[in-house]
Structure formats: C-alpha cells, structure tokens
Amino acid sequence: MTNLFGALTDTQMHVIIGVAAAVVLALAVVIVILALRQKPRKPTSQSEEDVQPAAEETVIPDETATVAQSTPAAEETTSAADVQRENPARPAQSSEPITAAVVAEAVREEPNNAATEPRTVVRYNKSFLARLIQSSDDAKRYFAEVANYLVGYGLRKRISWRCVSFFKGREVVARLNVRGKTLCLYLALDPAAYADTKYRVEDASDVKRFEDVPAMTRIRSARAEKYAFELIDELAAKRELAYKAASQFDASDYPYDTTEHLVQRKLIKMKIISGDGNGEIVSGPIEFVAAVTVEEAEELMSDTTAAALVEKRVGEHIGGKKFIVNVDTLSAHFNSGDTVNLQTLKDKKLVPAKEKAVKILARGTLDKALTVEADDFSIDAVKMIALTGGKAIKLD
C-alpha cells in the first residue's frame, strides 16, 4: 500500500481526494432529501393524549365525608377517542376536542337505553369533638388556650354536637368551632366595627346558630391567636367582666383517633343514602350495640343498608370453593378491634392450611367489633358485623 501511494504524483493525489470528498457530499445531500420528503406520522384517534384518567370521587368537605359508588358526571368537552368508544359505528375522528353538539349527535345516532345504576352513599356526620380530635396539634393547642381564656372571664361553657358555646348568664357571647381543620372563634361583637383594621373579622350572621355571635375570626397562627385574645378583651370590657386565670382545657385531652373508632365512641354518626336515581331514601344514624344475634340483626338493619356497608378490596379475591366460618366462631376466638382474615384464621387453627378462600355466615351471637376480610359474606353476617361497630371487607 505504501509503494502504491508513493508511486502517485501530487496531482494524482489531489484528484483522488477531491473525488472522495465529492462522493461524501453527494451521500449527505441524498440523506437530507430523503429526510425532508418523509411524511410525519399522523396520530391515531386512540392516542395516549385521548385516553383520559378516571375521575376521582368527590369528597364532601368540612363536617361530612362521603364515600360514593356512582358514575361521575360527563364533561362538556369530550375527546374523539371517547366518542369512538361509546359509538363504534361513528368514524374515528382526530384527537382535537369535540363539542357538546357533536357528542349529542353521536348519542342520537345510538341512544343509550341502559338503566341508571342505583347509588349508595355512606355519609359521616362528625361532631365538634371528632373534628377537634382529627385536627392538627396547633389547632388543639389554640383551642385549649382560647377556651381557657374565655372561661377565665367567668363564662359558662357547654359542648354540643356542633360547637362549644360560652354563656354570660343565659346569653351566649362566644362560640368555638372547627371548620375543616381550622379553629374558628365567634364573638357577640359587630363585625362591621372591625372593617379595615388589623383584625380579620368575617360576618357569620347568615348562619342561624351564629346570629348572636356574628364576628368570626380564624385562628391559624400565634398572631391570629393574639388578636383573638384582644377581641375577647373588648367583649369582656363591654360586659364589665373580670379576668381570673383558668385551666379547664388541655390539648393532650384530644389525641388523634380514627374515624372507625370515633364512630364506635358515638362521636361520628353514619347515614346510609341509597336510591334508584329518581329519588333517595335516607336511613337514620346506625345505632351500635354491644352484642347482637342473627334475629336482632334482621330487625335492626335492612338488606339495602347492609349491602351499602360492605367495602370492596379489588385484586385479592381467589376463586374456587370457600371454607365456611360462622360469626359466633369469630366472636369466641378474637378480641374487639382485631382484624380477621384468612391468615389470622389459619393462625388460630380455625381454617385448614390448604384453604384459599373463606365465606362468613351468620350464626349465634357477635359481641366484638371486628374488621373482617373475606371472599364472601351472607347479608346477615354483614349486619351483625356492622351493628357491633366492625367492618366487612369483601375481597373482589
């Protein structure tokens, strides 16, 4: 190879190099032309952008919480993929949003005659104490300090389901409430007198129980608490009240507790709302009992209410034959507050080791509040578990 290149003259070498450069340039031009002529891929009507995530359930804020089993309302703007899935006969559209008019046209082409599924809602009505217990440590501390300050002025207190009221004689002059997880103070002062001042006072007179104490301030910080004390001082001055330090409330008296336990303590009431879409039937709060028989459970709770109380855990069910376990067996071998499942039943030798699934049936008496996880339940077994303050969780 060395001899070959050595035999070439400088002119010949320049020619070879020029030809090679020309070939490389030509290849580059061809590649660019091919790239420019290639058409971009059109997105399909089922692109990832068209697939919308499932809507989350709506949670009722403040004093109630709802767990609903219902279909979320439709959006006014729907993707092409959504319409194509609902109406396969309609040609696939682009991924651009489709207006409500187009959706209405698609529905007219193929009307939906499916019956509306019944809705079932479990609603929790939380008392003031329940909301305080589940609030932040700061809110509990503010409550104890503000309540003690009010009592220090010789005011008489009364704790009701919704709030704590403070009286001078028979006149209510202050109230404390928890909204969400924020402590709110209501005073018998004129809200308009504190407009454009450092005090952030709102008018709460549109709510009937606060008509007599319309000046509301939220206590979220040490500064807000300081201003609350100053407003209480103004209230006391108007009524010529003398202060003497008092200590009737302590934040440590309200440790956090779960909703389940607060229901058992009767600090939270449960209501079952069920209907067929045309109307709703509301049952009263569930009254828990220390012990219940099958016959008593049948009288105390309807099948509809019991079915609504069954929680479902998806993805853990194993098909096949189920081993039968009776409720009174659970009552005899478990303590109140225990969780019953296939493994704990095997640990207690109540279910053979080879079994893969269990079904709970009603029998005898249940006198324990248990959380029972099983592949199936009889409706009367669910009633007995719910009436004693427990939970029935079906593995689906």
Judged on CB neighbours under 10 Å (0-12, 13-18, 19+), 140 is buried
What pLDDT digit, counting tens, does each position of 53-62 carry? 333 333 333 4
What pLDDT digit, counting tens, does each position of 353-381 carry? 999 999 999 999 999 999 999 999 999 99
Mean pLDDT of the chain: 78
More confident residue, 37 or 167: 167
Look at the pTM and tell me if it is higher than 0.75.
no
**pLDDT band for position 262 (50/70/90)?**
confident
* pLDDT for residue 192: 94
* pLDDT for residue 246: 87
The answer to whether residue 103 scores a pLDDT higher than 70 is no
Q: Which of 69, 17, 41 is nearest to 310 (CA)?
A: 69
Of 218-222, 271-275, 350-354, the one with minimum mean pLDDT is 271-275
What pLDDT digit, counting tens, does each position of 87-102 carry? 444 444 444 444 444 4
- The tokens for 364 are 């005898």
Among 58-62, 66-70, 190-194, name the most confident range.
Answer: 190-194
Q: At 230, which CATH number?
A: 3.90.1150
More confident residue, 362 or 281: 362
Partnered with residue 217 across adjacent β-strands are 185
- The tokens for 202 are 């709102």
Q: At 388, which CATH number?
A: 3.100.10.10
Do residues 33 and 57 share a domain? no
Do residues 10 and 56 share a domain? no
- Tell me the longest C-alpha to C-alpha distance in the chain: 123
- The tokens for 268 are 């939270």
* pLDDT for residue 331: 95
- Cβ 98 vs Cβ 77: under 8 Å: yes
- Cβ 80 vs Cβ 47: under 8 Å: no
- Cβ 370 vs Cβ 387: under 8 Å: no
- Cβ 77 vs Cβ 103: under 8 Å: no
Among 117-126, 223-232, 272-281, name the most confident range.
Answer: 223-232
- Cβ 185 vs Cβ 228: under 8 Å: yes
Cα–Cα distance between 8 and 198 in angstroms, integer? Answer: 97
Residue 379 lies in a domain: yes
Do residues 29 and 90 share a domain? no
Do residues 327 and 376 share a domain? yes
* pLDDT for residue 273: 62
More confident residue, 74 or 260: 260
What pLDDT digit, counting tens, does each position of 145-157 carry? 999 999 999 999 9
Question: Where a domain ends, among 253, 271, 300?
Answer: 253
* Domain span including residue 55: 48-114
